[in-house]
Amino acid sequence: MKKRLVKTISAVLAGVMACTVAACGKPAEEDAWLEKACPDKDETAEELYEKALQENILVVYTVSTRATKTKEAFEAAYPGLCVEIRDLRSPDLVEEVEKNYYSGNSDCDVIICNDNSGEFKSRIVDTGIAVPYLPSDIAGKMKDPESNVMGSFTYEAEMLFYNSAKYDECPIENIWELVNEEYKDRIYMPNPLHSFSTYAFCGGLMCVEDELAGAYKELYGSEPDTDGMSVTDYFWKRVSENIVFTNSSDEVLEALGSGSADFGFMVSSKQRFAGLGYDMAPVYRLEPFSGCRTSYSAMIARNSDNINSAKLFIRFLYGESDGKGEGYKPFSTDGTWSVRTDIPDGNDVPLDEIDLFVPDQDVLTENREYLEKFWTGILETKA
């Protein structure tokens, strides 16, 4: 089976320009904040720590509960500093950050968010509400330097898993086999309107529609009869008849673990629970793909009151200059891949050996209204 890793068109570089324009267009008092924050200034961890001791509790808005372990390690490494973690789902996090900013509230200091659906990029990054920070002694060790714009600190995937207690190996080779009647109510997936990474996968298929159509022809020997629909819409209309929608990847994990599901789409980092007795395994090879690559961003919230603490925390989250810091370790597990050249992947199978595509965030943003209407209709039929 062929490898699949479709490159995103230069959305990230466009983000650089958009973020710069947004910052330049801010009122004078906000330009003063940016001048004070100095995100491009080279400062050592020791220098930041000394200044951070004069600041208040650092507030982190995060979509990952693993940030709690980073907080604990951070407070141990830097006595006298305190971190408050607020765990939010991705859409709620974006709304809260926007609300804080436009109301003049500086409640949030650090933002940790899934950056894949285009929502975080268009509403928080391109508007300058989130400010990227990556010290030069870490930036030079990044695998993908342009990812600095989005503050990506780890790679993951939204991908298909199967029930390893029921099957010794994945029982399908082509994604279209998920429409088979035998899998009725045996496929679990988070509601794509509640999960940025699931939305990125579901909507991102429109970016790779030729491959999706080719997989259909390979399996059935003919072109799909979509009755006027796009191939992507036709695929999801058919597969959704077999899907049980959940609120989160956690519920997908539980369904696989309990035996309720044969398959489940969820974030790849849940793979770490296989070592805790959950009977599930990732699908690495699938025609034409088993999921999409995702990543997580860490950025400073504009108008943060605790700038030095925020910078220090982000340095710590990246693993410090030498890549050996404890802050990165909670995010380096099965189902994750490093953004740095000097930190090994948490996953044994490299990203380029997995059938994944990279969603184009700009396409997702441009089609958001259509995608939301389409998925609202799908979900209403399942209610």
230-274 pLDDT, tens digit each: 999 999 999 999 999 999 999 999 999 999 999 999 999 999 999
Q: Where exactly does CATH 3.40.190.10 map onto the chain?
A: 11-155+294-349, 156-293+359-382
With bands split at pLDDT 50, 70 and 90, how would you rate the model's confidence at 372? very high
Q: What pLDDT score was predicted for residue 374?
A: 97
Question: What's 156-293+359-382's CATH class?
Answer: alpha beta
Token pair 């009725």 is found at: 184
Rounded Cα gap, residues 67 and 328, in angstroms: 9
Q: Is 11-155+294-349 a domain of CATH 3.10.105.10?
A: no
Q: What pLDDT score was predicted for residue 144?
A: 81
pLDDT (tens digit per residue) in 285-344: 999 999 999 988 999 999 999 999 999 999 999 999 999 999 999 999 999 999 999 999
pLDDT (tens digit per residue) in 126-141: 999 999 999 999 999 9
DSSP state at residue 231:
H
Q: Is the pLDDT of residue 99 over 60?
A: yes
Contact yes or no for 101/95 (Cβ under 8 A): no
Share of the chain above pLDDT 90, in %: 78
* Structure tokens that stand for 51 in this block: 């200044």
Pairing of strands 243-246, 337-338: unpaired
pLDDT (tens digit per residue) in 338-349: 999 999 999 999
* Structure tokens that stand for 180 in this block: 């088979």
Q: What pLDDT score was predicted for residue 147?
A: 57
Q: What pLDDT score was predicted for residue 13?
A: 30
Closest CA to 58 of 295, 297, 296, 314: 314
DSSP state at residue 6:
P
Q: What pLDDT score was predicted for residue 145?
A: 66
